[in-house]
Amino acid sequence: MADKPIQGEKRVFMTGNEVVAYAAMAAKAEIMYGYPITPQNEIMHYWTRMAPKYNREFLQTEDELSAGFTTLGGVLAGRKAFTATAGPGNTLMQEPMSMAEAMRLPSVVVVQQRGGPSTATVIYSQQEVTMTTLGGNGEGLRVVYSTSTHQELFDYTIKAFNTAWKYRFPTFVLGDGYQAKMRESLTMYDPEERGIELLPAQPYMGKPGTPGVDRPPSQYRNTYNVEEELYEVLQGYFEDYAKMAPEVAEYESFGVDDSDLVVVSHGVVARACKEAVKELREAGVKVGYFRPITLRPLPEKQLREAAEKSGRFLVAESAQGQLDRLLKEALFGAKVEMIPMYKPGVGITSEEVAARVKSVMG
Amino acid sequence: MAKAVKIILAGEGGQGVQSVAEIIAEAANEQGREALYIPNFGVEQRGGVSVAYLQIGDEPIGAPKFLTGDIVVALSDRAVHRTRQYAGPETVFVYDSGIEGVEDAIPTNAKKVLPIPAIEVAKNELHPRVFNIIIMGAVIKATGVVPEQRAKDAIEKKLGYKFEKNPKLRELNFKAIDRGAELVAGAL
Amino acid sequence: MSVQPAMPKSWRLDTKPHKFCPGCGHGLVLKALGQAIDELGIQDRAVFGCDIGCSLLSWDFFNVDTIQTHHGRTTPVVTGMKRANPNLIGIAYMGDGGGYAIGSQHLVNAAARNERITVILVNNTQYGMTGGQMAPTTMPGQKTETSPYGRDPEKTGYPTQGPEMVAAITKEGAYVARGTVANLRQLKGFIKKALENQINGGGFSFVEALSTCPTNWRTNAEETWNFVEKEMTKYFKVGEIKVPGPRQEEGN
């Protein structure tokens, strides 16, 4: 039995869902738990086709609550476990992921955003930003990577497992229906051949030896009897998170130093913005481009610098200001005008961004 | 630097527009070019107008969808209505000349409107099954995104297992590419 | 010098006395489970998951690796562990609300998939931790905080027949029984058989334990025993309902 689905480097042309399945294989994920929902289904389809060949496991559950909680079970047993979901499934997924936050369980969730609220469309949106970054009854103790290309879907799905197991916070790869279904080229690789160390998973439960005899029992809870107990636990988590934030925060930008306006976007919308800003700059327009890759934590320092230099942000997103809200919190007190370009549940083209920039800049 | 060529293919489910887009995209990728193809999809497993968005260029492609196509191909009356919004002053709008009653829906702002008898050619000269391959020949000729031989190689890759059993199918498909190309060659 | 009752070897002594109310049945069910773990010698590979509700107070009860989960979600967490590492002996411990109400879809589907896990469900006819609300298992006419005039089956149905339901949807290889804290020897035997069934790779195993809640029932010792022995057994028949083997498939 071959143990590696990808050997060497290989240029491929495929859908984003297929990319995610390959990336999880390459990251040495051991088990996937999932429930059907469009537009993420093909992640499960490709995973289940490859799994027996590479000694991996799959369980189709009864709903996303179960997909999330079985994923946590897989993590507790010491396996690299993941799930994928979208839309209303992501809503249900917030319950298990809040437990992952409370108990520092390194679960990985791939989200392919679809229209909302409710069932809405199975097609596309960026309307799961608030929920994916801050969902659950908690404090957003999680990492969220928003990918923009198939290459990034591959790179960041691999990275998500490392981030999760290094820092022990649940980690999300936030894609969308466009990325899920479109085909484009990318280079797949075996991460270890590129010198990327894949952190091993470690069991929380069922470690060697008899509990109480050879070792203390491993006992985990998310319930506390008094307020102070919870408060103290959370202070430790916030400290860990604050320490981690600058290490994991990522962004991409150009032209922010000499611009009167910076276009800020994330995910697939950033492709349109990048194309538009490049063209405008070639035509001599003083406009910049900024894209947070991590939506949680945000690259706050760089965002503030970009805001203060340009004084104006045009925020483009396929949602009614969900990214904008995160940005405003990060930028509180900075002197920057926030100009909205919202198309909830609808794609944004580079033509539209270019036209909007021109109208704003006069 | 040339910008990516933007192509819209639209038809009824079963007309094979998605396969055409996918094969062209793969042919371009094989050639080392950048390609991005995205189908429209919704809650209906069947029915509805099927639209394929395809971009081919030499730099990484930007947004997956776009407002205006360089070439827009509509293969049914509903597809004409659905895709007229994608026509602009630089657009070549191609539709099957066998579609009736769409005169008022044909975009008037397109650079060129090109009716082609693809359905008729498929039915009378070749085989209805290769209708979409005729369209593929027309699209690659009109856009020059990939050489005809590359398209044939891509078809071979996709359907080679069928051709092994029935070599006549190969001949039929390749002929369809050539005929499709001929249909637009004269008109452009 | 006080005399301590014998405690199972797998109990964690430094967390005793336990946190359950006086007269609560949980301690008895956990005693039966502790004895079964001891007798089977699985303390090193058992993993224990407890739900929300009074069952969560067992999170540090055993010298066994333990995860306290969310309300109703213990079944999928234990399922996930067992699927990821089949060498573990997965025990999901929950109340009637967790198993039959908020987590019923997990119970039904884990049973239907014949997951190789053991579910132990404590039935005390109401929600204990939240203060005595009506549960799926509340008896007809029984007064609770949300059925203050007594449960009206016309409006809220009859008590859930959990083991009977699980028996109906599992295939051969499953083990299903209903025991009671009023007969601890028998209950331990059922739990032991359920765990053996998992160890042998048989299939889903499920034990419901009829239990007591004098705090919310507002009963004295005599009334408490009377309720669990006489009243509850009118609806909840104690005994083995399904044992592994194709013979049981015939039914009648």
Domain boundaries, chain C: 16-245
pLDDT over 70, % of chain A: 99
In a domain? residue A227:
no
Name the fold adopted by B5-185. Answer: Pyruvate-ferredoxin Oxidoreductase; domain 3 (3.40.920)
pLDDT by residue (tens digit) across C34-54? 999 999 999 999 999 999 999
Q: Does C76 contact A at CB distance below 8 Å?
A: yes
Instruction: Assess whether A30 and A172 both reside in one domain.
Output: yes
Give residue C116's Cα distance to chain centre.
Answer: 16
pLDDT at A362 over 90: no
User: What confidence category does residue C6 fall into, taking pLDDT thresholds of 50, 70 and 90?
Assistant: confident
Of B123, B106, B125, B181, the residue nearest B150 (C-alpha): B181
Query: What does the pLDDT read at residue A102?
Result: 98
Q: Is the backbone of residue A134 left (phi > 0), alpha (psi -120 to 50) or beta?
A: alpha
Kindly list the partner chains of chain A, i.e. chains with 3 or more CB atom pairs below 8 Å.
Answer: B, C
Q: Collect all residues with Cβ–Cβ distance below 8 Å to A358 and sequence separation of at least 6.
A: A280, A285
User: Is the CB of residue C49 less than 8 Å from the CB of residue C91?
Assistant: yes
In a domain? residue A266:
yes
Instruction: Assess whether A267 and A179 both reside in one domain.
Output: no
Q: How far is CA A299 from CA A245, B106, B158, B169, in A?
A: 8, 49, 45, 57
Query: What does the pLDDT read at residue C2?
Result: 67
Of B174, B168, B134, B138, the residue nearest B154 (C-alpha): B174
Over residues C108-126, mean pLDDT: 98
Q: Give the torsion through C-alpha atoms of C130, C135, C140, C145, to 10 deg.
A: 20
Distance separating alpha carbons of residues A112 and B96, to the nearest angstrom: 36
Kindly list the partner chains of chain B, i.e. chains with 3 or more CB atom pairs below 8 Å.
Answer: A
Token pair recorded at residue A117: 């609220």
User: Is the CB of residue C99 less than 8 Å from the CB of residue C107?
Assistant: yes
Query: What does the pLDDT read at residue B2?
Result: 65
pLDDT by residue (tens digit) across A83-135? 999 999 999 999 999 999 999 999 999 999 999 999 999 999 999 999 999 99
Q: For C227, which DSSP code?
A: I
C64·A71 Cβ contact <8 A: no
In a domain? residue A202:
no
Query: What does the pLDDT read at residue B3?
Result: 85
Interface test with A, best of B29, B33, B38, B51 (most A CBs within 10 A): B38
pLDDT at A330 over 60: yes
CATH of segment(s) C16-245: 3.40.50.970
Instruction: Assess whether A36 and A129 both reside in one domain.
Output: yes
A212·C78 Cβ contact <8 A: no
In this structure, chain B runs to a length of 188
Q: Collect all residues with Cβ–Cβ distance below 8 Å to C171 and sequence separation of at least 6.
A: C114, C203, C249
User: Is the CB of residue C34 less than 8 Å from the CB of residue C10?
Assistant: yes
Token pair recorded at residue C18: 């336990």
Query: What does the pLDDT read at residue C1?
Result: 56
Return the bridge partners of A263, or none. A289, A314
Q: Which of A165, A194, A223 is the last residue of a domain?
A: A194
For all residues of chain C together, what is the average pLDDT? Answer: 95
Q: Which of C68, C80, C84 sits opposite A69 (nearest CB)?
A: C80
Query: What does the pLDDT read at residue C66?
Result: 98
Over residues C12-20, mean pLDDT: 95
Domain boundaries, chain B: 5-185
B22·A183 Cβ contact <8 A: yes
Mean pLDDT by 10 residues, chain B (188 residues): 87 91 96 95 74 96 96 96 96 95 94 95 94 95 94 93 93 96 87
CATH of the domain at A346: 3.40.50.920
pLDDT by residue (tens digit) across C135-193? 999 999 999 999 999 999 999 999 999 999 999 999 889 999 999 999 999 999 999 99
Instruction: Assess whether A188 and A335 both reside in one domain.
Output: no
pLDDT by residue (tens digit) across A121-168? 999 999 999 999 999 999 999 999 999 999 999 999 999 999 999 999
Percentage helix, strand, coil, to 5, in chain C? 40, 20, 40
pLDDT by residue (tens digit) across A174-207? 999 999 999 999 999 999 999 999 999 999 999 9
Distance separating alpha carbons of residues B35 and A184, to the nearest angstrom: 6
User: What confidence category does residue C250 fall into, taking pLDDT thresholds of 50, 70 and 90?
Assistant: very low
User: What confidence category does residue A245 fall into, taking pLDDT thresholds of 50, 70 and 90?
Assistant: very high
Burial label for C171, CB within 10 Å (0-12, 13-18, 19+), is middle
Count structural domains, chain A.
2
Residue C138's CB: how many other CB atoms inside 10 A?
27
Burial label for B161, CB within 10 Å (0-12, 13-18, 19+), is exposed
Burial label for A25, CB within 10 Å (0-12, 13-18, 19+), is buried
pLDDT at C251 over 80: no
Q: Does A283 contact B at CB distance below 8 Å?
A: no
User: Which A-chain residues 293-352 have CB contacts (< 8 A) with chain B?
Assistant: 347-352
User: Is the CB of residue C187 less than 8 Å from the CB of residue C211?
Assistant: no
Instruction: Assess whether A121 and A39 both reside in one domain.
Output: yes
Contacts of B38 in chain A (CB under 8 A): 178, 181-183
Interface test with A, best of C45, C57, C69, C107 (most A CBs within 10 A): C69
Return the bridge partners of B112, or none. B92
pLDDT at A20 over 60: yes
Distance in angstroms between the alpha carbons of the first and the last residue of chain A: 63
Residue holding tokens 């439960």? Answer: A205
The range of the structural domain enclosing residue A349 comes to 252-361
pLDDT at C128 over 70: yes
Over residues A295-319, mean pLDDT: 97
Look at strands A261-264 and A312-317 and give their pairing: parallel
Residue C16's CB: how many other CB atoms inside 10 A?
12
Look at strands A261-264 and A81-85 and give their pairing: unpaired
Q: Which of A179, A194, A209 is the last residue of a domain?
A: A194
User: What is the chain C residue with the closest CA to A96?
Assistant: C70
pLDDT over 70, % of chain C: 96
Give residue A310's Cα distance to chain centre.
Answer: 28
In a domain? residue A214:
no
In a domain? residue A44:
yes
Strands (E), C183-242: 205-210, 239-242
Query: What does the pLDDT read at residue B14?
Result: 85
Interface test with B, best of A14, A37, A183 (most B CBs within 10 A): A183
Instruction: Assess whether A189 and A256 both reside in one domain.
Output: no
Query: What does the pLDDT read at residue B45?
Result: 63
pLDDT over 90, % of chain C: 94
